[in-house]
Each structure stands twice: as structure tokens, then as C-alpha cells.
Amino acid sequence: MFDRALALSMNRCLSLPEFDMNPAELVPPDAKKPYTSLIQVFLQLAEVQSEIVHHMEIKNRKAREDVETIQTLQGKMWKIKETIRECQKQPLHTEEKYLQAEWMGVDFVYHSVMTSVVKLHPYLMDDAGLHQQLLGYARTSLSSLSEMLSIAKALVDFHLFRVSVSC
């Protein structure tokens, strides 16, 4: 996932090889282990990142094809956002400080990936609405990062960290 994020940020190809595997097979969902839902969301976001990188590598696409691909990616991202909202409502996720911080990380990654999706749009420079949408996702991503950093300073009790490690 981090290789994909770096590739998108620096507008370059992936450094690590692709793997063709269903994320659900890597970490099956388990209600007793709250971190599995986090991992599932991160894996879904990594899949979208892969699609973005592959889309960027293909040249000579028609604008209509680009728009269709972007709409498909946005649809996947909106489904991921719904999953994030559902997971964040679960009691342990609202009570456990480290889980809350992890979900802030998910919000940061989500908005960062949405920024990358909107940047793919062929009419971005001609459409003020798309440009505002891009700026909105980028600003939200940066705000999430800032909030994560301030929360991280408050989470210094390593006794609480055992929850993160054991889950």
C-alpha cells in the first residue's frame, strides 16, 4: 500500500511487484479482532491505488474511457467510505483511543486516494467544480494528517498499546 501511495504521490511506477490475491483471503474478517476491519479497509484502498497506477500507465485513452474508469473508481471509494463509517460506529472502535487514531489514519488515506482519483479526470483543468472537489479532498487529507499528529502526541501510554498488539 505504501509503495502505491508513493508511486501516486511522485507520479512514478510501482517499485514492488504486483500480486493477484483476494484481500479477504489475506486477513479474514473477525469481529473478535477489531483490527481486522482496519486491515480489510486498507487492503481495499490498496486495490484502488493499484487501479489508479495501472490507469496512469496506459497511454492513448479516450476521454470517455477515462471518465468511465474514474466513475468506477469513485464508486469503489464511496463503498469503502460506507464500510469505514460502519466500522467506526462499533463500540470498541469508538471507545479505544488507539483504534480511533488508526481510523484517523484510514480517513487520511481515503481522502488522499480520492485526491488521486480526481486528479485522473481528463477535464480537471476545464471544470471548476472538479477542481474544487480535488482541493476539498486534498484539504481534508491534510487536515486528517494534522489531526493524527496531534492525537499521536497524546497517545504516549504504552500500557494501552497492548490492545493494538494483541488484536
What pLDDT digit, counting tens, does each position of 53-91 carry?
888 878 777 888 889 999 999 999 999 999 999 888 887
Q: pLDDT band for position 16 (50/70/90)?
A: confident
Residue 127: per-residue pLDDT: 92
For residues 148-164, average pLDDT: 63
Residue 55: per-residue pLDDT: 85
Residue 126: per-residue pLDDT: 92
pLDDT at 161 over 70: no
Q: pLDDT band for position 165 (50/70/90)?
A: very low
* Residues near 117 by beta carbon (within 8 Å), at least 6 away in sequence: 48, 52, 70, 73, 74, 77
pLDDT at 120 over 80: yes
For residues 110-129, average pLDDT: 92
- Percentage, residues of the chain above pLDDT 70: 79
